[in-house]
Amino acid sequence: MLLGKREKIVIGDIDIRNYAKYILKEGEDIERRELLGCLNGQIRLKNKEITIVQ
Protein backbone atom coordinates (compact mmCIF):
# COMPACT_ATOMS: atom_id res chain seq x y z
CA MET A 1 0.00 0.00 0.00
CA LEU A 2 1.33 3.41 -0.97
CA LEU A 3 0.66 6.30 1.35
CA GLY A 4 -0.21 9.67 -0.14
CA LYS A 5 -1.42 8.28 -3.45
CA ARG A 6 -5.02 9.12 -4.26
CA GLU A 7 -7.17 7.53 -6.88
CA LYS A 8 -10.01 9.41 -8.48
CA ILE A 9 -13.33 7.64 -8.00
CA VAL A 10 -15.82 8.23 -10.78
CA ILE A 11 -19.48 7.92 -9.89
CA GLY A 12 -22.08 7.81 -12.64
CA ASP A 13 -25.42 9.56 -12.53
CA ILE A 14 -27.45 8.72 -9.45
CA ASP A 15 -31.22 8.57 -9.70
CA ILE A 16 -32.15 10.21 -6.39
CA ARG A 17 -35.88 9.71 -6.91
CA ASN A 18 -35.60 5.94 -7.32
CA TYR A 19 -33.14 5.74 -4.43
CA ALA A 20 -35.59 7.59 -2.17
CA LYS A 21 -38.42 5.26 -3.25
CA TYR A 22 -36.22 2.25 -2.47
CA ILE A 23 -35.35 3.58 1.00
CA LEU A 24 -39.01 4.31 1.79
CA LYS A 25 -40.11 0.84 0.65
CA GLU A 26 -37.22 -1.37 1.74
CA GLY A 27 -35.19 0.64 4.26
CA GLU A 28 -35.05 0.36 8.01
CA ASP A 29 -36.98 2.83 10.19
CA ILE A 30 -33.84 4.84 10.97
CA GLU A 31 -33.04 5.17 7.25
CA ARG A 32 -36.56 6.38 6.50
CA ARG A 33 -36.42 8.94 9.30
CA GLU A 34 -33.06 10.22 8.10
CA LEU A 35 -34.32 10.56 4.52
CA LEU A 36 -37.51 12.36 5.56
CA GLY A 37 -35.52 14.62 7.88
CA CYS A 38 -33.54 15.89 4.87
CA LEU A 39 -36.66 17.15 3.10
CA ASN A 40 -37.61 20.81 3.39
CA GLY A 41 -41.25 21.76 3.72
CA GLN A 42 -44.38 19.90 4.72
CA ILE A 43 -45.28 16.46 3.42
CA ARG A 44 -48.95 16.21 2.47
CA LEU A 45 -51.03 13.21 1.47
CA LYS A 46 -54.17 13.95 -0.56
CA ASN A 47 -56.09 11.58 -2.83
CA LYS A 48 -53.34 8.94 -2.45
CA GLU A 49 -50.74 11.44 -3.74
CA ILE A 50 -47.80 12.69 -1.68
CA THR A 51 -46.57 16.25 -2.23
CA ILE A 52 -43.97 18.42 -0.52
CA VAL A 53 -45.14 21.99 0.11
CA GLN A 54 -42.40 24.57 0.62
Whole-model pTM: value is: 0.57
Nearest in space to 35 (alpha carbons), one of 16, 50, 54: 16
CB–CB of 3/14 below 8 Å?
no
**Which residues face 51 on adjacent strands?**
44
**pLDDT value at 6 more than 70:** yes
Whole-number Å distance between alpha carbons of 48 and 31: 23
Would the pLDDT of 1 be above 60?
Answer: no
- What DSSP element (H or E) covers 30? helix 29-37
Q: Sorting pLDDT into bands at 50, 70 and 90, what band is 3?
A: low
Closest of 22, 18, 20, 14 to residue 39, by C-alpha: 20
